[in-house]
Amino acid sequence: MRAYLDERAPATPCLVLDLATVRANYHRLRAALPEAGVLYAVKANPAPEVVAALAAEGSGFDVASTGEVDLCLAQGADPADLSYGNPIKKAVDVAYAHARGVRRFTTDSDGDLEAIAEHAPGARVAVRFLVDAPASGTPFGAKFGCSPATAARLLRRAAELGLRVDGLCFHVGSQHTDPAAWVAGVEQAAAITRAAGVPAPALNLGGGFPTGYRTPAPPLDEHAAAIRAAVAEHFPTPPRLWVEPGRAVVATAGVLRSEVVLVSRKSDGDERRWVYLDVGRYSGLAETENEYIAYRLRTPHDGGPDGPVTIAGPTCDGDDVIYQRTPYRLPLALRAGDHVDILDAGAYTASYSSVSFNGFPPLPVHVVG
Ligand SMILES: Cc1ncc(COP(=O)(O)O)c(C=O)c1O
């Protein structure tokens, strides 16, 4: 990625994505948890090249919309390997996916379950429950998943409606650094399965596997060992396991190169400088909302004297401030025109960039490897 940036010097801002790293991350996950099937969460990085590379490696896909269904099929995925994991969908979208061969759906409500029964008759269905676990780095809140009692009832209802009950699923929230969150999910899934009283052969553990940004994250093996032990403890017959990783597959495969637009001080004597980059909240750095994700930064002056900074994007929106509470220091030599590389930026960046807010175009993606 660095070589591509140095040799080609593409216009900034841009994201450079390395497919070799994507493949390596996929296989690292497979090796850590070989008993689990992988459904790559397309939302993390929907670059067609990423989807094609993962399809070629044998990955399945977690899709959230008909657009992602079409993307995966166009890149060579088998519809049998697609799981429509978004419990919020229109009946017409269920019908569309079913017509294209998708046979696996996730639900968390009666209305959605009825739509699946009507428009995807005989499909496999997983019920998502709201896991009771400590919050992750980028929490979902209460938007997805139902209570354990409702999940048990929906499993029974799915069987009554003639659907194939796959089992349960949960998502601990993205960028979760505590393996105990999955342990809680597995334990709750086992209890719901017992309460439901219908066969539930599969358990989808969701995504959430973390990336080490400024703070190192526990290795995948630690999460895998905790999950394996919890499944052995709580399920008399082990279910078929699935994971839906997004970040863990693509984050380290991307470098976002930006350029300094301006360095300024709000008062002449201020120690703190404001560093304005040509990338911000609306051109890819969506996950800096609430300063949830603190990326590692690289500049040409690293190693020299530095000082505290507030880092902001280029638009005329007051919310387009990237870091003002998270302590960041950048070199005192940093000037307009210097590059600032944002590391491990392959997940949840380019696809979040706006079409043209303030006239800034969407973040271009260059694929290497
Ligand atoms: C249903 C579902 N599965 C998987 C993922 C991927 O999560 P992560 O990127 O944390 O692995 C998400 C992320 O939002 C999701 O909503």
Q: What is the DSSP string of 34-59?
A: TTEEEEEEGGG---HHHHHHHHHHT-
Give yes or no for residue 349 CB within 6 A of ligand 1. no
Q: What is the largest CA-CA distance in the chain?
A: 72
For ligand 1, mutation pick of 33, 65, 138, 174 (most atoms within 8 Å of CB): 174
Same domain, yes or no, for 24 and 150? yes
DSSP 3-state of 84: strand
Q: Is 297 exposed, middle or buried (0-12, 13-18, 19+ CB in 10 A)?
A: buried
Taking residues 68-75, what's their average pLDDT? 98
Dihedral sign (CA 326, 331, 336, 339): negative
In a domain, 189, yes or no: yes
For ligand 1, mutation pick of 29, 62, 136 (most atoms within 8 Å of CB): 62
Q: What percent of the chain has pLDDT over 90?
A: 97
Same domain, yes or no, for 242 and 256? no
- In order of 11, 342, 360, 364, 368, the CA distances from 16 in angstroms are 11, 11, 18, 9, 7
Number of domains the chain contains: 2
Q: What is the pLDDT of residue 225?
A: 97
Taking residues 353-366, what's their average pLDDT? 95
Alpha carbon of 86 to ligand 1 centroid (Å): 10
Q: What is the pLDDT of residue 98?
A: 98
Q: Which of 249, 283, 303 is the C-terminal boundary of a domain?
A: 249
Give yes or no for residue 112 CB within 6 A of ligand 1. no
pLDDT band at 41 (very low <50, low <70, confident <90, very high): very high
Taking residues 170-193, what's their average pLDDT? 97
Taking residues 176-190, what's their average pLDDT? 97
Give yes or no for residue 137 CB within 6 A of ligand 1. no
| pLDDT of 178 higher than 90 | yes
Taking residues 13-18, what's their average pLDDT? 98
Q: Which of 249, 265, 289 is the C-terminal boundary of a domain?
A: 249
Choose among 280, 271, 259: nearest CA to 309. 271
Alpha carbon of 41 to ligand 1 centroid (Å): 6
Protein residue whose Cα sits closest to atom 14 of ligand 1: 174
CA dihedral 8, 9, 14, 19 (to 10 degrees): 30
- Indicate which residues carry an active-site annotation: 316
In a domain, 11, yes or no: no
Give yes or no for residue 293 CB within 6 A of ligand 1. no
What ligand 1 atom has the least distance to the C-alpha of 44? 9
Mean pLDDT for all residues in the chain: 97
Same domain, yes or no, for 96 and 132? yes
Q: What is the pLDDT of residue 134?
A: 86
Q: What is the pLDDT of residue 135?
A: 86
Tell me how crowded residue 67 is: count the other CB atoms within 10 A of its CB. Answer: 12
Q: What is the DSSP string of 236-255?
A: SSPPEEEE--SHHHHGGGEE
Taking residues 354-368, what's their average pLDDT? 95
DSSP 3-state of 118: helix
- Interval 87-125: pLDDT, tens: 999 999 999 999 999 999 999 999 999 999 999 999 999
Provide the CA 271 distance to its chain's centre, in angstroms. 37
- Interval 213-237: pLDDT, tens: 999 999 999 999 999 999 999 999 9
Residues 6+ apart with CB under 8 A from 212: 344
In a domain, 7, yes or no: no
Same domain, yes or no, for 212 and 308? no
Measured N-to-C along each axis, helices 66-74 and 91-99 cross at an angle, to the nearest 10 degrees, of 20
| pLDDT of 330 higher than 90 | yes
CATH assignment at residue 364:
2.40.37.10
In a domain, 357, yes or no: yes
Q: What is the pLDDT of residue 255?
A: 98
Same domain, yes or no, for 57 and 198? yes
Q: Which of 232, 249, 266 is the C-terminal boundary of a domain?
A: 249
Structural domain boundaries, residue 347: 252-368
What ligand 1 atom has the least distance to the C-alpha of 106? 1
Same domain, yes or no, for 180 and 329? no
Same domain, yes or no, for 66 and 188? yes
pLDDT band at 47 (very low <50, low <70, confident <90, very high): very high
Q: Cα separation of 348 and 23, whole Å?
A: 18
Q: What is the pLDDT of residue 139?
A: 82
| pLDDT of 299 higher than 90 | yes
Alpha carbon of 10 to ligand 1 centroid (Å): 30
Taking residues 269-294, what's their average pLDDT? 97
Q: What is the pLDDT of residue 311?
A: 98
Same domain, yes or no, for 108 and 54? yes
Q: What is the pLDDT of residue 140?
A: 83
Give yes or no for residue 287 CB within 6 A of ligand 1. no
For ligand 1, mutation pick of 65, 129, 140, 171 (most atoms within 8 Å of CB): 171
- Interval 124-161: pLDDT, tens: 999 999 999 988 888 888 899 999 999 999 999 999 99
What ligand 1 atom has the least distance to the C-alpha of 169? 1
Can you name the residues that pair with 308 across neighbouring β-strands? 329
CATH assignment at residue 230:
3.20.20.10
Same domain, yes or no, for 134 and 71? yes
In a domain, 28, yes or no: yes
Give yes or no for residue 41 CB within 6 A of ligand 1. yes
| CA angle (282 as vertex; 321, 212 as ends), nearest 5 | 70
In a domain, 71, yes or no: yes
Give yes or no for residue 346 CB within 6 A of ligand 1. no
Give yes or no for residue 208 CB within 6 A of ligand 1. yes
Q: What is the DSSP string of 340-356?
A: EEE-S--SSSGGGS-S-
Alpha carbon of 17 to ligand 1 centroid (Å): 20
Give yes or no for residue 145 CB within 6 A of ligand 1. no
| pLDDT of 335 higher than 90 | yes
Residues in the chain: 369
Alpha carbon of 245 to ligand 1 centroid (Å): 6
Q: What is the pLDDT of residue 138?
A: 85
What ligand 1 atom has the least distance to the C-alpha of 62? 3
